[in-house]
Each structure stands twice: as structure tokens, then as C-alpha cells.
């Protein structure tokens, strides 16, 4: 057989399907993660197990290791800010102070879904070496951002305020605290009904504007919020 000395321009190499975390639609249908119709991120604790490499391979072995606990309350606390509205008048500031809360919706929702997928062991059997970045957690977050986040939209926020009498302790004025005990604050009596919300153009963040109903000269407040999302 005569050789033509023409080298091939391409070589073919088998790779794991988990290298690509973006779901591709096809004429015959495609796989897609089944998701809940609605999500309420309240005071959830989600517990899951994994090995020291963040992989979920053998539940029997992983059960002997310390569990990983996702706490929704801590996550919401880390992904929001509460500041005084600088556009208000001095009179408003001294009395029914206006506040602005900024919430990172994408981060909170992504963290919650990540914990749910870990708890459900959706990616069980996937090792770090089977992902393009050699990191199964990074691959999972890529899957969530590419395929899941855009299937939800922000629905509403439940904001709770519990007022604290300052009793002439002016040093605590305007110092409001995220409630570390949600069960003590979540009630119809503490639910703030007059709030204004604005979502960013890509719905990744939320701006909440509200007035303090009791004068800030006499009260500070503890606060807490739940966020609700609906499937599109």
C-alpha cells in the first residue's frame, strides 16, 4: 500500500460527558433536571455528605464523615445589605427613617439549589477528574447557572421587623440587626406590608425600599426576610 504522507488534521479523543455542563436540546428530546414549581427560601437547614474531595461516590463511607450543613438564614445574611436612604429629608431620617435593602437573588438561589442537588446526590458518581476544571463543585455551579437559574423568576419577599425600644440608648440608633432566631420574629404582627421592590434588568438582584414605622429616635429593629421564586 502506497503512503501519501498526509498527516491527519484532527485527532479524536473520548472525553466524559460531564465536561460540558450546558444541556443541549435535540430533535429527539434531551435530559433536563426536574425542578420544583416554587421555591421558598426561609429558615432552611440542608444537610448532605461528601468525601474530602467534595465528591459523592460512596454514601456509606461519606456518612462516617462530618456532614455539610447549608443554612439559608446565614446565606441570606451574607448576601444582602441594609443602608439608610441618603435621598430622604432630615425630618424623615429623624423619624420614620427610609431604608434600602439590596439582595443578591442569584447568589442566594444558586446556593440553595446547590445544597439541594448535593442532598439529593444528583451528581453522585461524578469525580473531579471527570470535569473540565477538575472540580466537581465548580461544575455543579456551572450547571446551575447555565440550566436552572433562568428557569426561575423572583416572586415576592416577606420582610419581618421586630422593634426594640432604645430606652434613651442613642448609641444603638440606626443599628438594626439581622435576626439569628427567625422563629421569634416571623409572625403576621411583624410582617411589613408596605414595601417597594425593584428588580435589576436581568432579575439577578432585588432592591427593597421601606419606611421604619416607629420613630428611629426611639426604636431600632431586628429584621428577617424570606424570598420566594416561581418556575417560569
pLDDT for the residue numbered 28? 54
Alpha carbons 228 and 62: distance in angstroms, whole number: 32
pLDDT over 70 percentage in the chain = 90
Rounded CA gap, 204 and 61, in Å? 38
Asked, for residue 174, whether it belongs to a domain, the answer is yes
Q: Is residue 160 part of a domain?
A: yes
Q: Does any domain span residue 145?
A: yes
For 13-17, 90-94, 118-122, 209-213, which range has the lowest pLDDT when averaged over its residues?
13-17
Residues 6+ apart with CB under 8 A from 100: 82, 83, 84, 85, 207, 208, 209
Mean pLDDT, range 105-131, rounded to an integer: 96
CA–CA gap between residue 164 and residue 160 (Å, rounded):
13
How far is 195 from 225, CA to CA, in rounded Å? 12
> By the 8 A CB rule, do 136 and 124 touch?
no
Segments forming the whole domain that contains residue 112: 35-231
Mean pLDDT for 95-122 is 97
> Could you tell me if residue 14 is inside a domain?
no
Asked, for residue 9, whether it belongs to a domain, the answer is no
How many structural domains compose the chain? 1
Amino acid at each position: 500500500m502506497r503512503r501519501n504522507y498526509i498527516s491527519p488534521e484532527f485527532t479524536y479523543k473520548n472525553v466524559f460527558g460531564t465536561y460540558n455542563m450546558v444541556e443541549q436540546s435535540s430533535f429527539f428530546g434531551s435530559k433536563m433536571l426536574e425542578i420544583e414549581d416554587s421555591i421558598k427560601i426561609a429558615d432552611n437547614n440542608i444537610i448532605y455528605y461528601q468525601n474530602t474531595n467534595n465528591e459523592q461516590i460512596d454514601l456509606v463511607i461519606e456518612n462516617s464523615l462530618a456532614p455539610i450543613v447549608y443554612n439559608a438564614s446565614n446565606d441570606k445574611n451574607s448576601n444582602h445589605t441594609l443602608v439608610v436612604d441618603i435621598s430622604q429629608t432630615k425630618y424623615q431620617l429623624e423619624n420614620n427613617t427610609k431604608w434600602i435593602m439590596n439582595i443578591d437573588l442569584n447568589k442566594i438561589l444558586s446556593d440553595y439549589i446547590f445544597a439541594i442537588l448535593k442532598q439529593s446526590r444528583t451528581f453522585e458518581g461524578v469525580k473531579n477528574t471527570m470535569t473540565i476544571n477538575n472540580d466537581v463543585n465548580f461544575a455543579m455551579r456551572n450547571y446551575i447557572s447555565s440550566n436552572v437559574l433562568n428557569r426561575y423568576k423572583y416572586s415576592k419577599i416577606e420582610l419581618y421587623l421586630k422593634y426594640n425600644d432604645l430606652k434613651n440608648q442613642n448609641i444603638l440608633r440606626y443599628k438594626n440587626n439581622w435576626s439569628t432566631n427567625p422563629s421569634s420574629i416571623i409572625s403576621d404582627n411583624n410582617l411589613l406590608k408596605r414595601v417597594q421592590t425593584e428588580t435589576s434588568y436581568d432579575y439577578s438582584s432585588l432592591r427593597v425600599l421601606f419606611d421604619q414605622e416607629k420613630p428611629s429616635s426611639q426604636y431600632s429593629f431586628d429584621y428577617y426576610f424570606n424570598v420566594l421564586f416561581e418556575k417560569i
